[in-house]
Amino acid sequence: MSAALDGIAVLDLATVGPAARCTRILADYGARVVKIGAPAKSGVNTEPPFFAYSGGRGTQRMRLDLKQADGVAVFLRLAAQADVIVESFRPGVVAKLGIGYADVRAVNARIVYCSTSGYGQDGPRARWAGHDLNYLAVGGFLDCSGRRADGGPPLPGATIADGAAGGMHAAIAILAALLRRQRMGEGEYLDVSVADGVLSLMALAVDEHLATGAAVGPGHDILTGRYACYDLYEARDGRWLAVAAIEPAFFANLCKALGLERWIPYQTDDARQAEIRADLRAAFRTRDRDAWVELLAGHDTCVAPVQSVSEVPSDPQFRARGAFAFAEHAERGRIRQLAPALAGMPRSGEAPALPAPGATETDALLSAAGYAQAEIERLRSRGAVA
């Protein structure tokens, strides 16, 4: 079965961040992604570690000086044959370079042009610099995420804003735009704000506040620590268990397994939560984490182990689902990495070849775009391409 995005050509002007997460998703669904960076001599590239973004598997690379007229002309020629462009410059930069949506649409009315930025293309924060933590902060995520010993919100354990609020947000918007283009025949411009994506992730909390005026935050409801049935508990060996027994039946099963049946009627009794937590903590400290998992996890208690990243590759569930694969890196040889992880992404079973740092396929890409070898050599001699 062919990949969902076979035949879709994507130009990616980002090397890291939400836009790179987005094109990683598109490539894993079968799109042909060309990652366009600045020439190395420009000093403006941010080169990710060799393992990041799946090591660039299934993507092509070229270097293009977009500050030269020749470089802009090359980009527009490539854009005329593309389906999607993804960029992550500060708002207004692509227009100044001459490669903005209006410039591209003039040569390709079917283009889906996606700009990703922290706060969107307009509004009082549009020009602010930022990273994942900033977007989680303004969207309410951090404030709902519990408290450290000093009273502040904790640092999240993953770049949720970049990955979900930005990368997945952009990919979903692009896929919807491609479907619309199939019906209407025209492309469109997408203004993807990572902070807006955080709002989408926070919809349950934000909608509750808007509808009721409730001051949603840590300890407000069952999902933010109000009740003992939804919490983290330390086992005897110092490792942790995640307990998420929200439904009364699951909580009852948990209490029975722990010999704490007396608490079944009081699951959401605010006056008894301190006592329930104390008894749950004491019970979980009587066995090691994995012993509890063996006893509880498969018996409708909503218990799971809190695993370190180093434990994850040995997890039997992930292994059974083929979550990990091998790749052949041009310099480092055979390495292990996550396989395409999302539903519907094809897995070939072969180890893909990963490019060496700085490697490009510029000549082949330009040739496919219709450039003669003499033209390519002229562009290279001028520093427009590399």
Q: Could you give the residue numbers annotated as active site?
A: 131, 162
DSSP 274-299: HHHHHHHHHHHTTS-HHHHHHHHTTS
Which amino acid is residue 60, in one-letter code?
Q
Cβ-proximal residues to 360 (8 Å cutoff; 6+ apart), any chain:
61, 62, 63, 386
Please give the angle made by the CA atoms of 164, 160 and 243, to the nearest 5 degrees. Answer: 110
Is the CB of residue 332 less than 8 Å from the CB of residue 355?
A: no
3-state secondary structure of 315: coil
Backbone region of residue 276 per phi and psi (left: phi > 0; alpha: psi in -120 to 50; beta: other values): alpha
Pairwise CA distance, residues 179 & 139, whole Å: 29
Extract the tokens encoding 224. 């933010």
Among 174, 94, 162, smallest CA distance to 134 is for: 162
Is the CB of residue 272 less than 8 Å from the CB of residue 281?
A: no
Pairwise CA distance, residues 17 & 24, whole Å: 11
Pairwise CA distance, residues 37 & 56, whole Å: 13
3-state secondary structure of 369: coil
Pairwise CA distance, residues 112 & 23, whole Å: 13
